[in-house]
Amino acid sequence: MRALPALLTALSALSLPLTFASPTSSSLALRSDINSNVPTALTERPGPFRPRGNPTPIYIPAINSQTYVILRAVAPIAGIPIRVLLAKVLRLFLEHLRDSSDGPIAGGGFQTGVPFFLKVRNANNHQITYGVMCRALEAMADWMAEHGDALVVYEIWDGDNMVGNGVVAKKD
């Protein structure tokens, strides 16, 4: 048993000089900040990691409800076309609630609109219902009325459960 720690120490001592002795040709090696084409100019290098979309999510609670929406990516656009789209979808879902009872959205998702579209689908083995979707649409429309219309990637939460996710985007 005493030989094993001694053997490991000897092996690690042998490998240590080899790692420092080998020349470095890695692209991760430190480089000079001087541009070789223009020696008097400093090279500007962007950081290796750039946030995509919003660096922090935006939480939007629905009024008088456990439902809330999390916006993960927001791209502002001019005008009010997204609020018009949200109002049309909300009216469609409210008519469904009036004519039928609340329940899961048929097929587990919904997509509509030209040239902008709204897409939603079930998430995390939970089903999104018409009632929860109506609350989420109202919350997004209220947020856009205050902050301006935007193309978004979103999650819909009902209490502790993410029940849906989707996108409001522009058709190409």
Euclidean distance between CA atoms 41 and 30, whole angstroms:
18
pLDDT at residue 44, rounded to an integer: 54
pLDDT at residue 107, rounded to an integer: 83
Among residues 102, 107, 120, 110, the alpha carbon closest in space to that of 162 is found at: 120
Among residues 42, 25, 24, 41, the alpha carbon closest in space to that of 33 is found at: 42
CA-CA-CA-CA torsion for 29, 35, 40, 41, nearest 10 degrees? -100
Q: Given the structure tokens 């500007």, which residue do they identify?
A: 44
* Mean pLDDT for back-to-back runs of 10 residues, the chain (172 residues): 64 54 53 58 55 75 95 90 93 94 86 85 93 96 95 95 94 80
pTM metric for this prediction: 0.68
